[in-house]
Structure 1
Amino acid sequence: MNVRNVPPHASTMFESLRGLGYSPATALADLIDNSIAAQASEVDVRFEWQGPKSSIRIVDNGVGMDDATLEAGMRLGASDPRANRAASDLGRFGLGLKTASFSQARRLTVASRRKGGAIVCLRWDLNLLDQPGSQAPWPLFEGPAPGSEALLSPLETMEQGTIVLWEDLDRVVTEGFTSTDMIEMIDAVEAHLAMTFHRLLEGEGEPFRLRLNDRAVRPWNPFLIGHPAKAWESAEFRILHSPGTLVQCHVLPHRDMLKPAEQEAAGGPGGWTQQQGFYVYRNKRLLMAGGWLGIGDNGKTWVRDEPHRLARIRLDIPNSVDADWKINVLKSTASPPVRLRAQLRRLALETRETARNVFAHRGHISSASGGRSDGVKDAWQVRRSANGTSYRIARDNDLIASVLDRAGPLKSDIVAMLRLIEETVPVQRIWLDTAEDKETPRTGFAEAPTEEIRETLVAMFEALVRYSGLTEEEAKHRLRRSAGLERFPELISSLSLTDIA
């Protein structure tokens, strides 16, 4: 059998790998993975703006590398993705350092030092590949580029550690890119890293610190752990037939239960709707933020929509199942094995349904009959049939029933008015405004004057006492347990029979 050796052309291979789809944020996250794997407790990322000569530098205090280890790390395919890895290893393909770096820059320099050892430095430069007369088809240069020595100087005072330097940022500093654009990019990078590494930044025991231009990155936790208004947080489940895989379901508070600053923060980098779904972690490092992993109903995948915006599910997988979950080189996509999809779907269904109820009832889960069993019946009833969904004003709501009972000759006019309101609710306009604004319309007495709210409470209090036969305390209890009214306990407590005398 004749065999041919067909090695790739270096420049062509590198240029092809540049198109994998990294953003500056995901590329830097890949490099920080390497720092964590090297047992670094501190990572500093520095962006230097100098127009076309701008650079990005990542400095860590990990165990560092000697010359042989650095050379192996600079090689494409430095490790076999099929090989067993340490349980704490965040890598897989042996490509991350190179592909992430070249997705943003044409020159990659890595300098490193082990404890008690000398500084070693190697450099890839895409501008110097395939040079005429070169004796090395894959030239890996020793030392920094002339004029770049100062950018590696922090390593001289460090006992151990590594510096990764990106220069010639042709995929970042493009035509028209300004210092303002650099600042905006840094903000986007910070938001992504705060989310990707939040569990490591929050971790107990040995601290992990991450800084961008000397500013500490504050972790962003998607699950609002410990918030008193949180609608639901399940126990942590072990997934059958997948050792080491854990899942926990969360339903966040409705926006009406959050302060303005909390609302903005909880939305995350992508906003409330985009951040719903599964959060897949490997060794506490976030791989995928949101989305429903291709799970759905009747062959149709669930999409990220408004009614389920409060649903977020934490899913932890070990690094031994990367192939089963189809983790890609960018660590940005995952697909659950077929044998686990039924379990994940059941958990997701429960979470989505709870989130939908909380969303629909503005933070409160009502019983199927409409309204809490010990609260005032909801003013609106939702009716579903083969002909579609309709919305009707509840004639058995205590206040509405009492008004109709006292209406006398105006009863037929009031009923006609209610029917007119029911038939002219601007459902499509409400839905369009919600979709465009990414927020539900303000209801539930939002921003209403206190006196206006009190007038409504007095009318309902009178209906409960005079026409439903409740005692004063029974009426107050029912009001406190009614959707939309429970936020006014002090006003409800101030009600008395003298208000309706």
Structure 2
Amino acid sequence: MNDVSRYHGEDEDDFRPSAARLVDSLRDTGYLPEAAFADVIDNSIAANATRVRVELSALYGEVRVVFLDNGDGMDEAGLRSAMRYGSPKRPDPKSLGKFGMGLKTASTAFCERLTVISLKDGVPSIRAWDMDTIRQLDKWVLETPSWSTYAEDRDALVEFAGAGRSGTMVIWEKVDRLVTPGTEQKVLGQLEILGDELCEELSAMFARFLDRNNKAHPDVAISVVGCDGSERHLQGWDPLCLELNSEGVKRVKPLPLKTVTVTRHDGSTSAFTVAGGILPPQNSLSAAEQKQVRYSLDNQGIYIYREGRLIWHEGWPPRMYKKEGKMTRLRVVLDFGHELDDVFSIDFRKSRIIISQTVRQELQKIVAPWRNHVLKEATASGGHDDGGDSAAARHLRANNAIGKHSESTKLASVKVEGGEATLQNKYNRQPVRVDGVHIYSETGVRVREEDSLEGNVLWAGALDDDGEVCVQLGRSHPYFARMYAACKDKPEALMAIDMLLWTCANAEIGIWSEQNKGIIRDFRMSISSGLNILCQELPDPSDD
């Protein structure tokens, strides 16, 4: 710690704001974690970095976050300037690191000590802001830490910079707002979740920089290293998901690019563009595709990009539309350049926008026909994407949902070879051969219909060649026709019943043994018999 006594002194004509008060105010600027991490990465990209790595770690409950890049780096004068709150403007107005505040405010929103090490042509420099020092002295004291404390970090930066011999390391220490304090295990668990969330958010924010086929923006490789040392390399995520389209097959319906010209505050004009896409019906997507598309109510709406970087995706702008299930398939992309920062009222966090009434009206003119088209399709399908009347389409939602959670619902380890299955479960610690269970060669289908099942039961457990549990449904059972007739226009209810019956089949496989297989069969027949009687209270299918 520096000798702070030499900084004391008063000047009755010095009316600069209290550093102690202001630094705490600047910590409360409303940053979300992903926005803060993105702000630091913005500076790396602005410094022409081609590689950025984020490291999350914790030791004895103390969290540490490190950012490394191989960008241009800074010499001593450049680093001092960059550490200044309100640092000089960058020469390129398109720069993602535009406002001179992000590095400091984004960092200290979550930590009490910010240290920056920069390497320029092989020469390292180091500076640090420490909130405790600033509060104690009530002065903006920019510290120069001892290299003995940060020697390992300096060496790590030199290694990361490589032959270029330039780069920057940003270190967050005394992290007090990123996770909730607790045991080391609790902290590590929170950091693991944070790592997952960062990978998802950053892959969207910097998608165009991560995409090497996008020639409009520089290529940047971004990775996140977790507490266990594993490194995840981010892949860009496009909300329109046009990668689902192939030659001659347009699963995502692209919507035409529109250009909107607006008048800026100084009277000059500039333009932004609007494009969009309509995703395929949810039940036409596999579980893997739904994950890839990030199919959810939260992800509908407008995605706004500034200079190629995603800055806002909170659904629909205020006073435009509300989120609704029927609109989940519609996504809209708005692109604008730095010259429209004042029109969209971009703040230094680059995570807030204000859509003026004029711009909102222009947007609605463009989006309204697209929205009406999606609503019309939803109405035509009874408010949902039924995908048709075939057995496969009828159970597709349930198939995808069950497949999505296959690992967490697994009750037995099953292997299928040569048309025979062996399993291990809590009743069979060693592999045993399973008999009396049908095995399907076609895989990936969890809910299957058959004309009838042995004993005219409603359902029976089955397997496929991958060893996954399936449920067979007997169409000849009286409950079957009445059940599906009652749920014809209620896809969620239909999915819920499919899930229930599949879970019964899964439980059968989970407890199957040579000793109790007869009990399982009797249990299934007893339930089917009871449903045969009770289903008389349901409407006859012919009445529908």
The answer to whether the superposition gives a TM-score over 0.5 is yes
Instruction: Write the deviation string for residues 292-335 of structure 1: whole angstroms up to 9, x where unpaired.
Output: 22243xxxxx2111111111101001011111101123222212
- Alignment check: 8 A CA contact 1:257 1:363 kept: no
Matched, 1:193 2:210: no
Residues in 2 aligned to 1:358 and 1:290: alpha-carbon distance in whole angstroms: 24
Instruction: Write the deviation string for residues 428-454 of structure 1: whole angstroms up to 9, x where unpaired.
Output: x96xxxxxxxx95557x999x9xxxxx
RMSD: 3.3
Partner residue in 1 for 2:338: 319
- Alignment check: 8 A CA contact 2:326 2:384 kept: no
Which amino acid in the other structure matches residue 153 of structure 2?
A: L
Partner residue in 1 for 2:297: 273
Residues in 2 aligned to 1:314 and 1:71: alpha-carbon distance in whole angstroms: 38
Which amino acid in the other structure matches residue 272 of structure 2?
A: T
Q: What is the aligned length?
A: 367
Aligned runs of 1:68-87 on 2, under 5 Å? 68-79=77-88, 86-87=92-93
Q: TM-score, normalised by structure 2?
A: 0.62
Instruction: Give the match's secondary structure for 1:243.
Output: strand
- Alignment check: 8 A CA contact 2:327 2:371 kept: yes
Partner residue in 1 for 2:530: none
Matched, 1:183 2:192: yes
Alpha-carbon offset, residue 253 of structure 1: 1.0
Partner residue in 2 for 1:456: none
Which amino acid in the other structure matches residue 237 of structure 1?
A: K
Residues in 1 aligned to 2:492 and 2:16: alpha-carbon distance in whole angstroms: 58
Which one of 90, 96, 110 corresponds to residue 104 of structure 1? 110
Alpha-carbon offset, residue 284 of structure 1: 1.0
Which one of 43, 54, 63 corresponds to residue 63 of structure 2? 54
Instruction: Quickly say closer, same or farther: Cα 1:278–1:85, change in 2 above 3 A.
Output: farther
Alpha-carbon offset, residue 110 of structure 1: 0.6
Residues in 2 aligned to 1:13 and 1:196: alpha-carbon distance in whole angstroms: 30
Residues in 2 aligned to 1:363 and 1:166: alpha-carbon distance in whole angstroms: 53
Q: TM-score, normalised by structure 1?
A: 0.67
Instruction: Quickly say closer, same or farther: Cα 1:290–1:129, change in 2 above 3 A.
Output: closer
Partner residue in 2 for 1:236: 257
Which one of 184, 190, 207 corresponds to residue 219 of structure 2? 207
Partner residue in 2 for 1:166: 172
Instruction: Give the match's secondary structure for 2:60.
Output: coil
Instruction: Write the deviation string for residues 334-370 of structure 1: whole angstroms up to 9, x where unpaired.
Output: 123333322211111122222223444459999xxxx
Instruction: Give the match's secondary structure for 2:277.
Output: strand
- Alignment check: 8 A CA contact 1:57 1:164 kept: yes
Partner residue in 2 for 1:142: 144
Matched, 1:251 2:278: yes
- The alignment-based identity, stated in percent, is 27
Alpha-carbon offset, residue 5 of structure 1: 4.9
Instruction: Give the match's secondary structure for 2:202.
Output: helix
* Structure 1, unpaired ranges of 5+: 297-301, 373-420, 431-438, 450-501
Instruction: Quickly say closer, same or farther: Cα 1:144–1:280, change in 2 above 3 A.
Output: farther
- Alignment check: 8 A CA contact 2:244 2:252 kept: no
- Alignment check: 8 A CA contact 2:128 2:142 kept: yes
Q: Higher relative contact order at CA 8 Å, sep ≥6: structure 1 or structure 2?
A: 1
* Structure 2, unpaired ranges of 5+: 1-11, 226-230, 263-268, 389-481, 502-544
Instruction: Write the deviation string for residues 201-255 of structure 1: whole angstroms up to 9, x where unpaired.
Output: 1142553100111320122221111424635211222112353411102111110
Which structure has more strand as a fraction of its residues?
A: 2
Instruction: Give the match's secondary structure for 2:256.
Output: coil
Instruction: Give the match's secondary structure for 2:178.
Output: coil
Alpha-carbon offset, residue 160 of structure 1: 0.5
Aligned runs of 1:300-311 on 2, under 5 Å? 302-311=321-330
- Alignment check: 8 A CA contact 2:20 2:139 kept: no
Which amino acid in the other structure matches residue 181 of structure 2?
A: E
Which amino acid in the other structure matches residue 160 of structure 1?
A: S
Which one of 25, 28, 40 corresponds to residue 49 of structure 2? 40
Q: Which one is further off, 329-338 or 92-101?
A: 329-338
Which amino acid in the other structure matches residue 374 of structure 2?
A: A
Matched, 1:282 2:339: no
Q: Which one is further off, 181-190 or 336-345?
A: 336-345
Aligned runs of 1:373-412 on 2, under 5 Å? none
Which amino acid in the other structure matches residue 106 of structure 2?
A: A
Instruction: Quickly say closer, same or farther: Cα 1:51–1:358, change in 2 above 3 A.
Output: farther
Instruction: Write the deviation string for residues 55-97 of structure 1: whole angstroms up to 9, x where unpaired.
Output: 11000011111111211111111146xxx96253113321100
Which amino acid in the other structure matches residue 198 of structure 1?
A: A
Which amino acid in the other structure matches residue 311 of structure 2?
A: L
